[in-house]
Amino acid sequence: MDDKRIVLCGANAYEQKYYFNEQFNGIPDSIKDELHIICVLFTEEVGGIFTIVFEEDGTLSLETNAEEADIYYDEISSGLLVGEIRRKRQDLLESLSLYYRVFILKEDISQLLEDEA
């Protein structure tokens, strides 16, 4: 499989389940709790399936989709809510990206911090 993307977490409104990738158990519990809340509230509000995914380069993608027959899924609200999460949780998303690049991709943290400055 060429796809080098890794799911961090997600929620499924159809099965009413939350998933957290155990590969990232090193993330503090408070952050795990915040991710859980974000994912579950998203699917409660708009339905469907919501996932937070690390791209190959360490950036985060917020993805949502729904079953074709789901007449309750609100695509417009979905897009608006993704934008709101990106704005309100920008620091969290950037920190998770940095975590991924340092602990998973094994990039040099001093170089990453220099690039940010």
Residue 13 tokens read as 């409104």
> What pTM does this model have?
0.89
Asked if the model's pLDDT at residue 71 lies above 90, the reply is no
Q: Quick one: pLDDT band at residue 117, thresholds 50, 70, 90?
A: low
Mean pLDDT calculated for residue range 48-66: 95
10 Å CB burial of residue 47 (0-12, 13-18, 19+) is buried
Residue corresponding to tokens 């969290």: 92
Q: Quick one: pLDDT band at residue 116, thresholds 50, 70, 90?
A: low
Q: Report helix, strand or coil for 22.
A: helix
Mean pLDDT calculated for residue range 65-73: 89
- pLDDT reported for residue 112: 66
10 Å CB burial of residue 50 (0-12, 13-18, 19+) is buried
d(CA 48, CA 62): 13
d(CA 30, CA 51): 19
74 versus 19: the higher-pLDDT residue is 19
Mean pLDDT calculated for residue range 69-78: 88
Mean pLDDT calculated for residue range 54-61: 93
Residue corresponding to tokens 């993608």: 61
Rounded percentage of the chain residues whose pLDDT exceeds 70 = 95
92: left (phi over 0), alpha (psi -120 to 50) or beta: alpha
